[in-house]
Structure 1
């Protein structure tokens, strides 16, 4: 059976991503309440108790808010790197030792019929990392929460069949918006988030012959709009000779509504 996935929720208020194969059902991040996560799973006709593992990207609350609750309720195994485990102490409550697993940065870990590759990003967390999923020759790359996309990151994610890719903010909306200057400076920094324009520029370097879908993810609630993100990224790609709607589609994600469960 081919890989299927859904972006359960994505945005500045909470993030969760689901991927399944014939033998594995993985959740990446749990940045919403336990109840909200259960509702999102119901939207794609799946259940949290069937999850085989939870992978954590980093310790910020919009990625781990419901982690402790669902881990205890459903006795789920959790994978994170050592620095992230340490940073999560006191944030997710007690997790039984037998449910805690180390997934080192820069490694490939096999979950039965699904190989998962971790890679580092540039974000103000202990040791943030995202994932590339490999199954039967298909490749799905998940990358948000990074202040820039380095050549090393591009080399890891390039020519994926599907990208879930950060397009956090419109620079002018952020600059003119209500956030205090120190928060704006953090978002615009090399350990913050990438803008719509930066997303387009980075995507132009990694889209390949096999790329079919790009999901624009982790949009700021206050400093972005879906239509603006999609339009900006499409324009940057068009300037590079890459036309959305042709070989590949640009897709939205939502902070409260899961994307349809689709095959890679």
Structure 2
């Protein structure tokens, strides 16, 4: 009988330049997104003592390149890999992904739940300027891990879906003042702060206040912009806002940073 070591996670990379998260149970090893080159993804996996050749499933959230740049390479190189996304996302994948092995593509529609043996996966739609962006929540042995990035706001429906998870990756894409005074053209700034853009540090904190519960022990701040945010600012903004609401930062739960190029250590949810 296989020992159940629980639900383990590593945020391999998270930023506007590339995203990938690794999740494992005794029965499965999966990735959410492959937004970096195959070479970089292999190196990130090696840094946590894992191998891409053992990954059996890849869940794509949407077709933007910072989430699917390495999809084609991985799908063609690793014959064991099944690829999951909704139909509009598959149809909208950029040409740069290349030809995919059709027999290993699986449609996973928004709002559905599927079981991979000892790992259940739930999809939920978010408000982003993509064909049909959706993110995922993972269940194993009574534990739950949710990823929410690339959304202009967190709807009541999404909040209800992810409430009181044990661990979160929550988007903190930008600091509003840095964005306003930064180098981006006005049209791009409007896109980022719009309802189909990205969550600011304050937005991420407010979403966390609405969804965190007594089970929540870990919060990872994700998808930071390299031009419009810095780790320390995102961290202190979120921590201060949560503490102002009487939440036990550093006691009841901990806040962790993510990085564009350094994998977070593997943790047990």
Residue 32 (structure 1) aligned to one of 25, 33, 36: 36
Residue 250 (structure 1) aligned to one of 232, 241, 255: 255
2:132 matched to which residue of 1?
Answer: 127
1:84 matched to which residue of 2?
Answer: 89
Secondary structure, in 3 states, of the residue corresponding to 1:22? Answer: coil
Secondary structure, in 3 states, of the residue corresponding to 1:71? Answer: helix
RMSD: 0.7
Shift of 1:89: 5.4
**Partner Cα distance (2:92, 2:40) in 1:** 24
8 Å contact 1:234–1:243 — kept in the other structure?
no
Residue pairs, 1:191-206, within 5 angstroms: 191-206=196-211
The reply on whether 1:110 has 2:115 as its aligned counterpart is yes
Secondary structure, in 3 states, of the residue corresponding to 1:117? Answer: strand
The reply on whether 1:44 has 2:48 as its aligned counterpart is yes
1:154 matched to which residue of 2?
Answer: 159
Residue pairs, 1:221-232, within 5 angstroms: 221-232=226-237
The reply on whether 1:207 has 2:212 as its aligned counterpart is yes
8 Å contact 2:112–2:122 — kept in the other structure?
yes
8 Å contact 2:11–2:20 — kept in the other structure?
yes
**Partner Cα distance (2:94, 2:242) in 1:** 41
Shift of 1:244: 1.1
8 Å contact 1:214–1:251 — kept in the other structure?
yes
Unpaired segments ≥5 residues, structure 2 = none
The reply on whether 1:71 has 2:75 as its aligned counterpart is yes
Shift of 1:4: 0.3
Q: Which runs of 4+ in 1 moved over 2 A?
A: none
TM-score (norm 1): 0.99
Shift of 1:70: 1.1
Shift of 1:183: 0.6
Secondary structure, in 3 states, of the residue corresponding to 1:91? Answer: helix
8 Å contact 1:17–1:27 — kept in the other structure?
yes
Shift of 1:255: 0.3
Unpaired segments ≥5 residues, structure 1 = none
Shift of 1:91: 3.4
**Partner Cα distance (1:7, 1:239) in 2:** 27
Q: Which moved more, 1:103-112 or 1:87-96?
A: 87-96
Residue 164 (structure 1) aligned to one of 164, 169, 178: 169
1:20 matched to which residue of 2?
Answer: 24
TM-score (norm 2): 0.97
**Partner Cα distance (1:62, 1:87) in 2:** 14
